[in-house]
A and B are shown apart, each in its own frame.
Chain A
Amino acid sequence: MPLITIDDQPIEVETGTLIIQAADRLGIEVPRFCYHPDLRPEGNCRMCLVEVQGYPRPTVACTTPVVDGMVVRTPHAGDQARRAVRGVLEFLLINHPLDCPICDQAGECSLQDFYMHPDYGLHRSQVDPQEKVRKRKAIDLGPMIVLDSERCVLCSRCVRFSAEVTGTAELQFVNRGNQVELKAFEDRALTDPYAGNLADICPVGALTSKDFRFKRRVWHLARTDSICAGCSTGCNLRIDHFQGTIERLVPRRNPAVNQSWLCDEGRMSFHALGAAPRLTKPRAQGTGDAVNWDDAVATAHGGLHAIRRPGQPSRLAALASTSATNETLLLFWRYVSETFTAPLLDCRLGQEDRWVDEREDTLLRRRDKHPNTRGALLLGLAADPAGGLRPMVAQAQAGAIDAALILYYPPLVGAEDPATLEALATLVRAVPFSVVLTTHEGEWGRNATLALPIAAWSEEEGTYTNYAGVVQYAGKAVAPPGEARAAAAVLGGLLGQAGRYPGGSTVQARFDELAAAVPAYAGLTIAGLASRQASVYPPEGRLPYGQEGFAGH
């Protein structure tokens, strides 16, 4: 393996590694616009010029593979490189509009950051603002993207993304010289379902998010790392929120799960939380709305406990959700199996256990729109092949069910399936005593004996296990509305009523219990998840996405 030194720091890397990658590994910031780890390097922005001992002129770090013994100096250490990068940055700015006050990129803009860098920025402008080349502004490119070609630095990241990743090739450059302009043919709306990523990969304010447009200045945003709950892929993302409201979702790079991408449905999924009215107070049938949590939990357990028949199976229909976190599911499973004898316990509304293995497209999206189906399956919540919501309904209609405990989260991506809602409604109507834990007001839950408001995605922390068995931690960004509580807390309460151990108070503790209870998770910890991609499925730890690969690659 070649051994090279960058700014006097030695590093050994695999053959074929690019200088810029080696520098990144050393944590040395090499300024760049066109280079992106998940796109083919093109070396056109010339911002990553570095000097290599023995080379007559500065060379681009993003296309030059390391050679053993190479001695590299970045602009931070080398005068030649510094002069080169200063020059390139000045060129990039001579025709850049003075838009920062109205540009959504401001605050997370490479041009701004680099210009403010003492090593290669802070030059005095030599051009009159009136002289700049004018191009077209505020061009609407469909539901996701707004294009401002004047701000474009022509790094071609977007062009390569639409050509290599989505294969739609909807963006191209036209003209020549300093008249070159980024353009979608006839300004047509971008059709590919991953267009939102263009706003992320654009290093400047040329391609910005239409949904986030003018909402907030980015420096006001608080950031929480999380996992997309839109489907069973479990793309890594960051929740940007301000004073308790989610403003946008942006992908986090994870080469093993979603590279740097996020589908538009996932990106917009947070809007689903506010789309319908939320359930904010525990509600008991008959008695108006005024039920406090303690009474509610007590009543719930009381009613459920009452149906137990000594020596005989309990006629309880317990329906968990494949959208719940592993920790919630463990408590649900524990409460049901520790309190009742042979109840109907399942997590399927439909065919989740089959859909979880089906792709929706060749890039990220999967047919199963639940984030944690694999986790639920690993917990044995779909043990009975004939189980699921529909059989429960059938039995309830046959009068074979005395009580129902339902945990339900509306999907964040795609509309709720009316048939499923109808089935739920029927189940609730058909059983004499029903406890519903859910996030939103819903017709189907009207007749429930007890409706308990729980926290939705982004309002509680926990782990999800994606289709391929990668266990990932999702943080809590905002507080649940009203009196809503994390489902884990509610189930813990029920366990307490049952005189059982209510589970740990922190997510770490609850996950340790999961690791202890479920062999697949043995030896894992929350802290460990962050550092490595733990795959618990299939058990031998083979990563299916390894073979599946991604579109356009």
Chain B
Amino acid sequence: MERILTLHADQGDQPRLAVARERGAYDGLRKALGLTRHQIIAEVTASGLRGRGGAGFPTGRKWDFIRPQPGQPVYLLCNADESEPGTFKDRYLMERDPHLVLEGLCIAAYAIGAHDVFVYLRGEYASVGSILAAALAEAGEAGILGATLLDSPYELRINLQLGAGAYICGEETGLISSLEGKRGYPRVRPPFPAVHGFGQQPTVVNNVETLANLPWIILHGGEAFATLGTERSTGTKLISVCGAVNRPGVYEVEMGYPLRDFLAREAGGILDGRALKALIPGGTSVPILTAREAEDVTLDFESMQHAGTMLGSGGMIVFDQTVAMPGALATIANFYAHESCGECTPCREGTGWFAWIIARVLAGEGRPNDLEQLLRICANVEGRTICGLGDAAVQPVRSFITKFRAEFEALLPADQDTRPDWQRHGHGPRAARHGPLGQEAAWAEPVAGPSSARL
């Protein structure tokens, strides 16, 4: 299979510039500098490359929106705030092949006419940051990324910015706010970042993996890239698989690769030969798939959509039969309650309410109508929020409850209490609602619960 992103990543010495150059690093940039911006955008558009951060927006289109006024600065922000649970592909790229990322960064900046680039790394990736910084310094001394790119007169300043622990800063407008030194609040669109972004200037935000595809596209042409993968999901995708598999890790697969094969070969099968129970294909923000649903899914945007979920960030979390779904959902719900920025009402209150109800259900103190309650809250959060986090929080709740309902119902008491809800007292642990969320969050051991009726 054609490898685009991990061709050299597995060799340990790839981060060293000299070695990387021998293997052709920055050749794509050299070629790109020979092209005009429009040629590059045309190539990328032809390649059908779609954003690898989770939303899958066509990269060429995104660049095309940039129409700066004369004299107006343009910014390129590299979204390296890889916080989606179960996702660690960008970290893999930046650690193993930083020059590939930097090269892609330069090509993108040149293509949209940006002279100031900011790489926003999540705070936990400080170690990754130093690897990037080292590579940056080395490339600088080598005159590749000095004041100008290679021997062209094109000025480019690359800045590394570390976050400080906030999932929401991975949302593009939240990232912009954070970079501006404000609370990482997402912003209402319109206006879109392409018009009023970083410092109210035209801005493009691209994911690390997206950028890493660019050198190959420039060298081999968009057409070649488009021949890989499926019709609407071109190229390859990094899948970071974790959970109950024998070989968790990052694997590059061509789009359209069968999920069954991926689990069996790359992931090395389910842990200890157990049976697959369910898996989340693209980070916790997408609906979960039961083993049956997962059977004939292929790894690409359309097939996932057809299966009622999303390829998302490609962070695959695998559950085997021993995992109890209510506990897993509680963990996920606590995550969103903790990471909701609290700016807009439905997400702020909804995520907290999810966590609270699921916590009390888990504690065996749920109310008979709690599952309906949760689904009702899902409907009130979805599509009513400023950014995607609200919708993201809804997906696991709704899919877990609908697909593994029996496991949840087993935890609920039969309804003897006829009083209206607001008159009932003494529900569940306060942890989910009180005090700074999380540190008190009760652990529920992933022991085997009653298995789902669907399995």
Binding site for B on A (CB under 8 A): 42-47, 49, 56-58, 60, 63-65, 83-84, 87-88, 90-92, 94-95, 124-131, 133-134, 153-154, 173, 175-180
Contact = CB atoms under 8 A, between A and B. Distances in A.
Nearest to B348: A178
Given A49-B384, A87-B384, A131-B356, A173 B349 contact: no
Given A46-B384, A126-B373, A173 B350 contact: no
Interface in B313-356: 337-346, 348-353, 356
Closest 10 CB pairs of A and B: A87-B380, A180-B342, A178-B352, A91-B349, A57-B383, A43-B188, A177-B340, A63-B188, A125-B422, A177-B342
A418 B346 CA distance: 59
Query: By CB atoms of chain A within 10 A, which of B340, B349, B385 has the most?
Result: B349
Contact of B380 (A44, A91, A175): A91
Nearest to B428: A131
Contact of B422 (A63, A126, A153, A180): A126
A316 B184 CA distance: 71
Contact of B352 (A83, A134, A177): A177
A92 B345 CA distance: 7
A131 B344 contact: no
B384 A178 contact: no
Contacts of B383: 56-58
Given A63-B188, A179-B437, A129 B340 contact: no
Contact of B425 (A46, A57, A60, A130): A130
A180 B352 CA distance: 11
9 contacts: A42-B188, A64-B190, A124-B420, A128-B425, A131-B356, A178-B340, A178-B349, A178-B352, A179-B436
Task: Name the prevailing secondary structure of the B interface residues.
Answer: loop
Given A126-B422, A131-B356, A60 B346 contact: no
Given A91-B380, A178-B342, A128 B421 contact: yes
B344 A175 contact: no
B302 to A, nearest CB: 20
Contacts of B346: 46, 87-88, 91
B345 A47 contact: yes
A131 B367 CA distance: 14
Contact of A95 (B185, B349, B420): B349
Q: Assign chain B's interface to a size class.
A: 35 or more
Contacts of B380: 83-84, 87-88, 90-91
B433 A131 contact: yes
Contacts of B340: 176-178
Interface string B347-389: 0111111001000000000000000010000011101111000
A177 B339 CA distance: 7
Contacts of B338: 176-177
A269 B74 CA distance: 51
A133 B351 CA distance: 13
B349 A176 contact: no
A414 B342 CA distance: 43
Which residue among B183, B343, B351, B379 has the maximum number of chain A CB atoms within 10 Å of its CB? B343
B437 A177 contact: yes
B434 interface: yes
Contact of B350 (A42, A56, A91, A133): A91
Contact of B342 (A42, A92, A176): A176
Contacts of A84: 380, 384
B424 interface: yes
Contacts of B183: 173
Interface in B411-454: 420-422, 424-425, 427, 433-437
B353 to A, nearest CB: 6
Contact of B436 (A43, A124, A175): A175
A350 B438 CA distance: 66
A267 B271 CA distance: 71
Interface in B151-180: 166
Given A58-B383, A58-B384, A176-B339, A126 B348 contact: no
A317 B436 CA distance: 72
Contacts of A173: 183, 342
A42 B186 CA distance: 10
Most chain A beta-carbon contacts within 10 A, residue among B190, B384, B425: B384
Contacts of A90: 380
Contacts of A129: 422
Nearest to B433: A133
Given A129-B422, A173-B342, 13 more contacts: A43-B344, A87-B346, A87-B384, A88-B384, A91-B350, A127-B421, A128-B421, A131-B356, A133-B434, A177-B337, A177-B339, A178-B337, A178-B340
Contact of A177 (B188, B190, B351, B427): B351
Interface string B180-204: 0001010010100000000000000
Contact of A46 (B341, B344, B379, B421): B344
Contacts of B421: 124-128
A134 B384 contact: no
A63 B344 CA distance: 14
B361 to A, nearest CB: 14
Contacts of B425: 128, 130
A87 to B, nearest CB: 3
Contacts of B437: 177, 179
Contacts of A177: 337-342, 348, 351-352, 437
Contacts of A95: 349, 352
A61 to B, nearest CB: 12
B385 A46 contact: yes
Contacts of A65: 190
B382 to A, nearest CB: 8
B216 to A, nearest CB: 35
B158 to A, nearest CB: 30
A43 B345 CA distance: 10
A42 B187 CA distance: 8
Nearest to B382: A57
A49 B345 CA distance: 12
A169 to B, nearest CB: 11
* Most interface-central of A64, A129, A130, A179 (chain B CB within 10 A): A179
Residue picked from A65, A127, A128, A178, most chain B C-beta under 10 Å: A178
